[in-house]
Structure 1
Amino acid sequence: MLAGIVLAVFAALLAVRVTRFGGLDQTALFYVGLPAMLALLVVLCVRVRGAGAVAMAVTTVCLLMAGPMLGEGMVCLVISAPLIYGVVALVAWVVGALRRTDRRHSNALLAVPLLFALALEGVAGFSLLPREDAGTGSVLVGADPADVAAALAAPPAYAAPDALLLSAVPFPEPVEAVGSGLEEGDTRVVHFTPRRTLAPGAEPTPRHLGLEVVESEVRADGGRVVFAVTEDTAFANWMRMERAVATWRGEPDGTRLTWEIEYTRTYDPSWYFGPVQSHVTDLAADYLAGTFQREAQALSGGDAR
């Protein structure tokens, strides 16, 4: 019975994720509904005292089997793992509690579909929280505004991210940028680490992000430049990148540089992926700020602050 459940759920998960059928792989139905159904099936079908533990074990097996085959989808599984385990544990606990309380009141199991109602978020475009959001990172640069502007105008040298989450989860990492200038119409193409999968015969796929300066104001005491995303093969599977805004202003101790990354969330449930994507984007904005801080201070001969 357990083997059949594992194989059936694994096949369903893999089919939906790989074929992206109906866009369901980005909805709460995939990250809440499927784990809830898995837990419910295991707890109801496995007649042992440790049915909840079995449900968690089956979930782990499914995740381990699916992850290596999903390529960059592994990022989604890693990020959503706490949500999936939480849903499975909750359903297993509710069903177990109902069983222990009074077997004659089996109709109480109808309370479980309330959880499935939350799983419908995103299926028809409905979202509890706004989809538009922005991540922000700010740093004090030990250089004057002119050096910061010069650093922003040139392709930076990217380093490995310091944030544990960005380095532990297999997000795309920037490798190099092509293009320069801060005038309207100037462009950048940022190349990222290639996409890799374990599919037979699969070759690494290049990933990049195209940017164009659509607003520019450069002054002696600071400035603001807006980069619009024109093409995205790096993050499009997780979010819709909109704009990146760099703002800098002179201060007594240096120059305050702030990066803001504007995006549209495409994953549900919003109450989980909203805060997660917001935090990750904040880390990415901090990474950008730190990158150009090093570049500007190298131009001025200063040290990182």
Structure 2
Amino acid sequence: MSYNFDRTALLYVGVPFFVSVALLYIVKKPEKPSLNRYYGHLVLWSLIVMLGTSVVLFEGFVCVIMFMPIYFGILFLMYLFQLLSCYLKSRNKGSYYAHILPVVIFLSAFEGVVPSTSFEREYSITKNIVISATPEEIKNKLIEPMHLNIERNWLLSLFPMPNNIDAGTLSAGDVHNIDFTYHRWFVTNTHKGHMKLELTQVEDDYIRTTFLEDTSYISNYLKLKGTEIRFIRVDNENTKVMLTIYYHRFLDPAWYFGPIQEYAIGQTADMLLSELFIPETT
């Protein structure tokens, strides 16, 4: 754990791989494997294993939900490997071709274990919105308290919202504090954390922020580095607001967590633009 193996594919690919291999040997096979009862038994036992280890490790429900698709996906691929092997043997054909799949899965489990097996980790997401306001009016809106009381995307709703936002002025060097409280088991196993966001650069048409500290639950998955907000005049009454969020991906494999985190950060940017810049209607 001191080497952060819990962030590598060794956990998210390797563990499902070995669990699936063990179950394929332990669970009694029918004479004619099919995608019904036998696979159902494998899914049931794999669910028991996953939930049991999650309880022992005090994992939260968010971690379990994030882990389930790749966990059952690899189990399904290994089950297909077994079906293919049985089919080739029944046709008196060499089944060694079927072993390519588990070999590929096994090798992919070492992504992120050493730097040479890692892929790109630096990301940025940019979203924009055009509103009927001048840059000056928009900056005045930013000074107002942020409530974040809009309806959230399904993925974002799994994560806790800030329970307190301590924001000062909109001046360069100002530090905003954001507090989070997350109940890993819905009502207990509580985790508290906070973010410190510095207004690094503030100009008439540009604001840059830097995350100085992040101990929130989100920091288990990625490192938020900072944001940029640009105000581009479209005409005398309308302004285009461009929000860019920079972050560093911790978790592997990249083919799984990369798209999920890009989607989540993109939805976060849309939510912030809607909350901060769209005028409230009565």
TM-score (norm 2): 0.85
Task: Please state how far the C-alpha of 1:226 moved relative to its aligned partner.
Answer: 0.8
Report the equivalent of 1:230.
Answer: 212
Q: Deviations over 1:190-222 (max 9, x none)?
A: 122x122459x966332211011112211xxxx
Contact 2:61-2:184 at 8 Å conserved across structures: no
- For 2:45, give the aligned amino acid: V
Name which of 89, 93, 116 aligns with 2:80: 93
Contact 1:250-1:256 at 8 Å conserved across structures: yes
Contact 2:62-2:184 at 8 Å conserved across structures: no
Report the equivalent of 1:30.
Answer: 11
Contact 1:128-1:271 at 8 Å conserved across structures: no
Task: Please state how far the C-alpha of 1:165 moved relative to its aligned partner.
Answer: 1.9
SS of the equivalent of 1:247 reads: strand
Structure 1 segment 1-305 matched on structure 2, within 5 A? 20=1, 22-49=3-30, 50-67=37-54, 73-102=60-89, 110-111=99-100, 112-127=102-117, 129-167=119-157, 170-192=158-180, 194-198=181-185, 204-218=190-204, 223-234=205-216, 235-252=218-235, 254-294=238-278, 297=279, 303=281
Contact 2:84-2:98 at 8 Å conserved across structures: no
Provide the rounded CA distance (Å) in 2 between the counterparts of 1:70 and 1:173: 24
Provide the rounded CA distance (Å) in 1 between the counterparts of 2:189 and 2:61: 17
Provide the rounded CA distance (Å) in 1 between the counterparts of 2:79 and 2:215: 39
Provide the rounded CA distance (Å) in 1 between the counterparts of 2:141 and 2:183: 32
Report the equivalent of 2:33.
Answer: none
Q: What RMSD over aligned residues (CA atoms) do the two structures have, in Å?
A: 2.7
SS of the equivalent of 1:206 reads: strand
Aligned positions, number: 271
Contact 2:225-2:247 at 8 Å conserved across structures: yes
- For 1:95, give the aligned amino acid: Q
SS of the equivalent of 1:278 reads: helix
Task: Please state how far the C-alpha of 1:172 moved relative to its aligned partner.
Answer: 2.4
Provide the rounded CA distance (Å) in 2 between the counterparts of 1:203 and 1:81: 21
Contact 1:43-1:96 at 8 Å conserved across structures: no
SS of the equivalent of 2:245 reads: strand
Task: Please state how far the C-alpha of 1:264 moved relative to its aligned partner.
Answer: 0.3
Provide the rounded CA distance (Å) in 2 between the counterparts of 1:122 and 1:128: 5
Task: Please state how far the C-alpha of 1:107 moved relative to its aligned partner.
Answer: 5.5
Task: Please state how far the C-alpha of 1:75 moved relative to its aligned partner.
Answer: 1.9
SS of the equivalent of 1:22 reads: coil
- For 1:137, give the aligned amino acid: K
Provide the rounded CA distance (Å) in 1 between the counterparts of 2:182 and 2:117: 29
Contact 2:88-2:95 at 8 Å conserved across structures: no
Q: Deviations over 1:106-164 (max 9, x none)?
A: 65665322211011101113455310002233222232211111122343222144312
Provide the rounded CA distance (Å) in 1 between the counterparts of 2:115 and 2:63: 19
Contact 2:61-2:185 at 8 Å conserved across structures: no
SS of the equivalent of 1:102 reads: helix
- For 2:119, give the aligned amino acid: L
Report the equivalent of 1:13.
Answer: none
TM-score (norm 1): 0.79
Task: Please state how far the C-alpha of 1:68 moved relative to its aligned partner.
Answer: 5.7
Which residues of structure 1 form unaligned runs of 5+? 1-19
- Percentage identity across paired residues of the two chains: 24
Contact 1:158-1:175 at 8 Å conserved across structures: no
Contact 2:184-2:191 at 8 Å conserved across structures: no
- For 2:84, give the aligned amino acid: A
Task: Please state how far the C-alpha of 1:44 moved relative to its aligned partner.
Answer: 2.5
Provide the rounded CA distance (Å) in 1 between the counterparts of 2:85 and 2:267: 42
Relative distance call for 1:286 and 1:122 in structure 2 (3 A) is same
